[in-house]
Structure 1
């Protein structure tokens, strides 16, 4: 029962800025309200989709505070506290714990290539800083560090380590981590393009950066898998992938395009922070087409 709240669809929460590019409480509330209405399982706050690497500590703390203000007690809250230094990560972890988050998560240290011993110590110091459960974040394509099964098993000795958000592309990694942890460990599928495959290979749920653009489709994909309707699950995944390709094919960054999709739906969350690129005039028409793709897919699959 302790882990049940981590199953299902957990969108990665977007950074919500005002027109001057500052963290906006009002626009954060917009996204909180929207996701609550969509009945997702929870939110993963302050990760890649939250543009954490481009925010200072006080901004990241503010986002944690705003999300807790509007969603605490309504859904599962996971705080991503990964930062360039252990000291900053621990400070963020303590702040999230004070706010009542359900769990912490963190990428491994970035920039310097560190041995497993240093990565283990980094994660361990975050884990020991609070009473909260901890979810490892494995995303080698951006951090340059690949979590091994051996280190995963070593970390699992600490009972506060409840799982891994696996964003490496091979679904075999999901199978290996699930086998290593068993039923007492949560494995999240990270790559949205392989949500269905990840679930079939053993993932208990997913945390994804495109979920908020089309929560209905991922919720339905999850239901198809739970019901054993694998042909339907394959079809909806294929449609989701068409949409993801379109989101990634514009002049602006994927996150800028997703935010504009939300903005046009009346969920104003602002744009992105440089060096991420915002949308251009050339993106306007294609974004209308992406919204149409999503709406048509909802009509087709979500009855």
Structure 2
């Protein structure tokens, strides 16, 4: 079984497309290098922000192959698993391991809202089919399934299930998880607008969204918390918040791709049914991004960066 410490910043990376609706692998490489240069601890492919719902399985595996070529072992590569049936999920996990993924982020069954017993059985079947470390994605707001502490207790019987992406939007759940499981379960905050609070109450790291556009600022925030520089972290966080709020909207992909395009590390294109921003919405989101960039902190000059 591969080993991951599940600590630090894990971008849920974007999947750039070109104007012909094909994956733009040169821009994917550019964004990936920007993440690694900033010091991230791993990358997660084909997550919600990576437009998992718009990618074919073959495209997801092609992304994995390209990421392996680009990353060259510098950070772990996690592939997101979103399948409708247990059989397909098992086959996906095994293929990901064969190609060379370092871990999996696994969502509950898609389309069918399984009950607790079914969800546990689904995760266990995947865990028993592969030696890859698994990050369980707990996001009842967007995916309707709540993975309770009791369910996680059952799941931890499987040694490959090692971490949870905590996206319930209930900050207290980080503490509940730490109180219940201690070091047995790593906790990664999954909601950008409470990322600082999550770290300060004990989350081991973040699966982040705006890091896709602002990797250096995200890493500075994490490093400041780890160094105990809380007042500087709060100051940076307050600058960041208007951007972080782009992560908690149904159009988060359009918004964050636009921000990353402003930074020169993505394209704005999404796959239909997602359409380009227009009118007042486009003006409003561009203003949020432009206003933040205009007053962005100089990390080194202000001693925000601690790495």
Q: TM-score, normalised by structure 1?
A: 0.90
Match of 2:166 in 1: 166
Q: CA deviation at 1:248?
A: 7.0
Match of 1:94 in 2: 94
> How do 1:109-148 residues align onto structure 2 when only pairs under 5 Å count?
109-148=109-148
Moved more, 270-279 or 48-57: 270-279
Contact 1:199 / 1:205 at 8 angstroms: preserved in 2? Answer: yes
C-alpha change, 1:140 and 1:248, in structure 2 (3 Å) is: closer
Match of 2:255 in 1: 257
Q: CA deviation at 1:273?
A: 1.3
Match of 1:277 in 2: 275
Matched, 1:49 2:49: yes
Match of 1:24 in 2: 24
C-alpha change, 1:72 and 1:152, in structure 2 (3 Å) is: farther
Contact 1:133 / 1:162 at 8 angstroms: preserved in 2? Answer: yes
Match of 1:296 in 2: 295
Contact 1:57 / 1:88 at 8 angstroms: preserved in 2? Answer: no
Give the CA RMSD over aligned residues: 2.4
Q: CA deviation at 1:288?
A: 6.1
Distance 1:122 1:189 in 2: 23
Q: TM-score, normalised by structure 2?
A: 0.89
Q: CA deviation at 1:179?
A: 2.4
Distance 2:256 2:130 in 1: 34
Unmatched tracts of structure 1, length 5 or more:
none
Distance 1:145 1:223 in 2: 32
Contact 1:44 / 1:79 at 8 angstroms: preserved in 2? Answer: yes
> How do 1:238-257 residues align onto structure 2 when only pairs under 5 Å count?
238-245=238-245, 253-257=251-255
Q: CA deviation at 1:253?
A: 2.8
Secondary structure of 1:298's counterpart equals: coil
Distance 1:232 1:180 in 2: 31
Q: CA deviation at 1:246?
A: 6.0
Secondary structure of 2:225's counterpart equals: helix
Q: CA deviation at 1:3?
A: 4.2
C-alpha change, 1:55 and 1:3, in structure 2 (3 Å) is: closer
Distance 1:246 1:46 in 2: 19
Aligned residues: 300
Distance 2:274 2:88 in 1: 23
